Amino acid sequence: MRSTSLLFAAALWLGMAPGGNAVAQSWPGKPVTVISAFPPANNDQIIRMVDGPFQAVFKQPLVIENRPGAGGNLGAEAVARAVPDGHTLLVTVDTVATVNPRLYRNLKFKADVDLVPILYLANSAQTLVCHPSVPVKSVADLVKLAKASPGSVNYASAGIATPAHLAGEMLNLLADIKMTHVPYKGAAPALLDVIAGNVQVILTGPLAAGPHMATGKVRALATTGAQRNPSLPELPTIAETVPGYEISQSWGITAPAGTPAPIVRQLGAEMVKVLALPDVRERISRLGVVPATGGADEFAAFITAERKRLSDVIKQAGIVLAE
């Protein structure tokens, strides 16, 4: 849901950026449906707060529609089958286009054919944390512990094939260790069980882990991105110990294939300008993510590369999703 809040922050500023009035005059001609492929969360309240400013700029309301289910596939399918006139958009995490095609056997759409990228919104590295009772203070310590007793170190995730699961299996593969995966029905219960000491390790979002890191309920070891998180500069990346390791959760905006190219280009170009504004970047950073400010081409290239990389992890780790 963070990705949806980013869309609305961008929409609020879009009308203030150069060229915004031209977009407003020609598009939208009716309410714009923004489909989020995941359940409502607290961010929905923030989203609805900016519906008023959006209407003031574009003279049309945003209709927020949550279509959760099947790892984001239900919402993505709805957009893929929508009329391609620029009045239906999808905002979602990259796994819908990178991971799901590899795991779901009966998809009714093709992400790389039926959805057109508009904007690479943002990305967020996860944070590797452990319960304070685990006798490790670094990634090197964790690797050493896992090598000494294969399978004895367990890690929690929000479920099979979720970003945390893929992050854990990537660490297993690149560090040549064997941690045991413990899937949960959601990120919150997974983190709570680590805090309780029932599971030793988790890779989770920095906003979720932050308060518990501050109180000492969990110990932070590293982050999963290519560079250190500007908000947590003291934490090393896993790659500083395990070369080649990098994984993050990314968000983007897409539209149905066949959406007029001028709308795709203009909307993407204006949003890139908006996301580059210092004030907007600051607002996005408060959500615990890093603005990507990439247009359609950058988003498409990212999806293509990530699909190959994560498919390799899924294959090597033997991840299978029961449908």
- Structural domains of the chain, with CATH: 2-123+248-316 (3.40.190.150), 127-246 (3.40.190.10)
Dihedral sign (CA 9, 10, 16, 21): negative
Give the per-residue pLDDT at 20: 44
pLDDT in tens, 247-299: 988 888 889 999 999 888 877 777 777 777 787 777 777 777 787 777 788 88
Give me the residues of the chain with pLDDT under 70, please. 1-25, 39-58, 322-323
Q: Scan for tokens 């869309």, then name that residue.
A: 7
Give the per-residue pLDDT at 48: 54
Give the per-residue pLDDT at 51: 55
* Whole-number Å distance between alpha carbons of 281 and 227: 18
**Both structure tokens of 246:** 């990098």
Angle CA 289–293–295, to nearest 5: 135
Query: What is the H or E stretch that residue 128 is in?
Result: strand 127-130
Give the per-residue pLDDT at 313: 93
Q: Which among 281, 266, 299, 283 is positioned nearest to 15, based on CA atoms?
A: 266
Q: Scan for tokens 């309240």, then name that residue.
A: 45
Give the per-residue pLDDT at 54: 58
pLDDT in tens, 174-204: 999 999 999 998 888 999 999 999 999 999 9
Q: What is the pTM of this model?
A: 0.80
Q: Classify residue 297 by burial, with Cβ atoms within 10 Å: 0-12, 13-18, 19+.
A: exposed
